[in-house]
Amino acid sequence: MPGNFEGGNAGMDVVIYARLSLDKLGNELGVDRQLEACRELAARQGWTVTRELIDNSISATTGRVRPAFEKLLTLSPKPDAIIVWHLDRLVRLTRELDRVISYGVPVHAVTAGMLDLSNPTGILMANVVTAFSQFEGQQKAARQRLAATQRASQGRPWWSARPFGYERDGTPRGGEAEAVQRAYQDLLAGRSLLSIADEWNRQGMLTTRGRRWTGATVRQLLMSARNCAIRTYAGDEVGPGNWDALVPEEIYRSAVRVLNSPTRKTGGGGPRRSLLTGVATCANCGGPIRTAWRGRKGEQGSYAVYECKFKHCVSHRQDEADTMVSERVIRFLTAPQFAEAFEQSEDDLPAQQMRDELGSLRSRLDDLATDYAAGLVTRSQFLTASQTMRSRVDELEDQLSQLGSDSAVKGVTGMTDEQVRRHWDGLDVDRKRSLILAVVVSCRLRQKGRGVRRTDERHVDVLFRAGDPAKVASI
């Protein structure tokens, strides 16, 4: 590890080396700051700065000749140490590092401390730092090229092939765009990927490569951030796109959450699930609930039960438990607390504000990456700023995805008791499950007392979401 060279060694003669790459903008301040920090360090240590060497306008990753760097390696007599702001100012390629090592003078980086290149540990550290710089330099360069290509294409999206739902110029393609929008709605309402694929195949709708749809290709389509006008690069979201969104971002976020949910079966089709597996938990030990059979499945007198997967603490007949939970959900959907909790979300304002904030955060992250690639901000500045922004992005994405799943419930607000009951009875198991997940905070099955045979109200403990997110409603 690079040690800190505090104390001792006063009276050394040192050379300061600074470099500014002008990949993007001329900015003398950058070099001034580097020099200032290096001079301060020297003063603190009681070292004498015999020389300041500066390379301007040349990026170390291009590998072009840097006059001041060459000068530094031929200084005679050699200085006692070289001071730099960050090692990547001095070397960004491993072959340059080798030359510095053979030069045999310790390097002191303001941001990292002393690198003694005369011992193996120092050399290892320097190699690691340089390898990272080289790698990052290459990556950022690739990203800058991409950004340039996109700017050059004058407001047009940079797509190598027409994506489903869009024309090449980024305008939504009638028919396909509507199908994508409907698919998101259906997915959030609990429909499986396979049944969406089947419907499209029946309608004769093909992928842009002229193939029939599968659950996997529908999934891939719906997982694409392009559909809410977010630009991605190598799988990372890199900024707002300049084309029309097919769906609002919150719908996209909730769909991603649904598709990434570990309880979701891959492929989405498969055997019909029970209402409460993956929804309810054991009130006794907190474990998940699974389905089991009493008697041989399908034979007369056999029946399905929910039981605690971990410790078998609870066991309830499925039909009885399903009825109890359904009644509670219907009661909640007709209660004033439900209207309170979900009617507010009719107001699109918070969602719009979150979308706007996300959009501007992404642009800022984008600018920051470009500045970093151009050497205008240091690595630690880059990391600090991008971490802060990214955690806010995560937070907003989470809130948005919550709003998106609310939209599956909105249709139910304002229904009469009878309408709610009819609506509920008309839903298939998947849709019921997603409605329960949207309104419920927790659903727990309790142990039956001794001698109790039937599952009743006391055995289901359901907490619903309330208008105030910090509270829950017990109906």
* CB 306, min distance to Zn ion, A: 11
* CB 97, min distance to Zn ion, A: 58
Of the candidate spans 162-170, 230-238, 284-292, 338-346, the one that interacts with Zn ion by CB under 5 A turns out to be: 284-292
* CB 321, min distance to Zn ion, A: 14
Hey, which residues between 135 and 194 contact Zn ion (CB under 5 A)?
none
Q: Per CB under 5 A, does 454 bind Zn ion?
A: no
Of 205 and 285, which CB lies nearer to Zn ion in the complex structure?
A: 285
Among 313, 330, 385, 475, binds Zn ion (CB under 5 A): 313
Of the candidate spans 50-58, 125-133, 305-313, 385-393, the one that interacts with Zn ion by CB under 5 A turns out to be: 305-313
Structure tokens that stand for 283 in this block: 């009130």
Q: Per CB under 5 A, does 308 bind Zn ion?
A: yes
Q: x/- binding map, residues 362-401, to Zn ion, per CB under 5 A?
A: ----------------------------------------
Structure tokens that stand for 471 in this block: 């509270």
Of 73 and 313, which CB lies nearer to Zn ion in the complex structure?
A: 313
* CB 293, min distance to Zn ion, A: 19
Q: Per CB under 5 A, does 445 bind Zn ion?
A: no
Contact criterion met (CB below 8 Å) for 47 and 82:
no
* CB 280, min distance to Zn ion, A: 11
Q: Per CB under 5 A, does 285 bind Zn ion?
A: yes
Of 313 and 368, which CB lies nearer to Zn ion in the complex structure?
A: 313
Of 214 and 284, which CB lies nearer to Zn ion in the complex structure?
A: 284
Q: Per CB under 5 A, does 409 bind Zn ion?
A: no
Q: Per CB under 5 A, does 284 bind Zn ion?
A: yes
Q: Per CB under 5 A, does 413 bind Zn ion?
A: no
Among 24, 311, 454, 471, binds Zn ion (CB under 5 A): 311
* CB 338, min distance to Zn ion, A: 29
Of 71 and 448, which CB lies nearer to Zn ion in the complex structure?
A: 448
SS3 for the chain is CCCCCCCCCCCCEEEEEEECCCCCCCCHHHHHHHHHHHHHHHHHHCCEEEEEEEECCCCHHHCCCCHHHHHHCCCCCCCCEEEECCHHHHCCCHHHHHHHHHHCCCEEECCCEEECCCCHHHHHHHHHHHHHHHHHHHHHHHHHHHHHHHHHCCCCCCCCCCCCCECCCCCECCCHHHHHHHHHHHHHCCCCHHHHHHHHHHCCCCCCCCCCCCHHHHHHHHCCHHHHCEEEECCEEEEECCCCCCCCHHHHHHHHHHHHCCCCCCCCCCCCCCCCCCCCEECCCCCEEEEEEECCCCCCCCEEEEEECCCCCCEEEHHHHHHHHHHHHHHHHCCHHHHHHHHHHHCCHHHHHHHHHHHHHHHHHHHHHHHHHCCCCCHHHHHHHHHHHHHHHHHHHHHHHHHHHHHHHHCCCCCCHHHHHHHHHHCCHHHHHHHHHHHEEEEEECCCCCCCCCCCHHHEEEEEECCCCCCEECC
Of 82 and 324, which CB lies nearer to Zn ion in the complex structure?
A: 324
Q: Per CB under 5 A, does 282 bind Zn ion?
A: yes
Of 269 and 288, which CB lies nearer to Zn ion in the complex structure?
A: 288
Q: Per CB under 5 A, does 292 bind Zn ion?
A: no
Of 267 and 287, which CB lies nearer to Zn ion in the complex structure?
A: 287
Give the DSSP H or E segment for 114.
strand 113-115
Of 269 and 287, which CB lies nearer to Zn ion in the complex structure?
A: 287
Q: Per CB under 5 A, does 287 bind Zn ion?
A: yes
* CB 294, min distance to Zn ion, A: 18
Give the DSSP H or E segment for 127.
helix 120-152
* CB 408, min distance to Zn ion, A: 30
Binding residues for Zn ion, rule: CB under 5 A, are 282, 284-285, 287, 308, 311, 313
